[in-house]
Amino acid sequence: TYAARLQFVVDRSELLRNFASNAKILDEVDSLVNYISTNDLLKLRRITVKGYASPEGPTQHNIQLSQDRAKALAHYLRGRHNYHYADMPISSEGFGEDWDGLRKEVAASALADKQRIMDIIDNIYDTDQRKRTLEALNGGRTYRFLLDYYYPPLRRNEFVFEYEVRNFTTEESEKLMWERPELLSLNEMFNVSQRYEPGSG
């Protein structure tokens, strides 16, 4: 499995290669798809894309925004790699506002108001009221800091590539043990080890 994340401009769903670290990640993704598609040892099982939004603005709008962000990566992959996979197995889903991600980052921070922020997230269930309460905290200063430093990473896609490695004969496993050991299962490694005398190193 390979997992990574792409980021988006606030209130936008276009997948921009030159935004944040997207160029590096997309280069890695393209290389991985090319490697899997041209390697007879591997088979792509599925790609799962999850879209998220930061929790400012209308909640329903952010649900749609997260869905559009997930679709943007699926569209990119199909357009760029259709010559490898005419029927690429991709699923995409939007998860709306990432309150869990915000809470996790705040909990790990040294923010002076962090306990109050977590209390607001944990105990105010109406999202509109939760947003208004956050906006008013500390005269708005805390919210502006969250907007600048904590919300941008929440505007993202997370995606997972799942691929299979075929079973190998013991002879193939012995060769791969030196060249690509990460492709071998524990059982295949064990079978190779049985071909050597104990302590032979």
**What's the predicted TM-score (pTM) here?**
0.80
Report DSSP letters for 75-120, one per residue: HHHHHHHTTT-TT--EEEEEEEE-HHHHHHHHHTS--TTHHHHHHH
The percent of residues above 70 in pLDDT, for the chain, comes to 91
Residue 15 has pLDDT above 90, yes or no: yes
Cα radius of gyration (the chain): 22
Q: Please compute the mean of the pLDDT values over residues 170-181 and round it to a whole number.
A: 75
Q: Please tell me the distance from the alpha carbon of residue 163 to that of residue 47, in angstroms, as a whole number.
A: 9
Q: How confident is the model at residue 196 (pLDDT cuts 50, 70, 90)?
A: low
Per-residue pLDDT reduced to its tens digit, 62-74: 999 999 999 999 8
Average model confidence (pLDDT) for the chain? Answer: 88
Is residue 111 predicted with pLDDT exceeding 70? yes
| Residue 90 pLDDT | 87
* Residue 37 or 104, more confident: 104
List, for residues 144-165, the tens digit of each pLDDT value: 999 999 999 999 999 888 888 7
For the chain, the straight-line distance linking the first and the last C-alpha, in angstroms and rounded, comes to 31
Q: What is the pLDDT of residues 85-97, one digit of tens each?
A: 767 788 899 999 9
Question: Is the CB of residue 162 less than 8 Å from the CB of residue 48?
Answer: yes
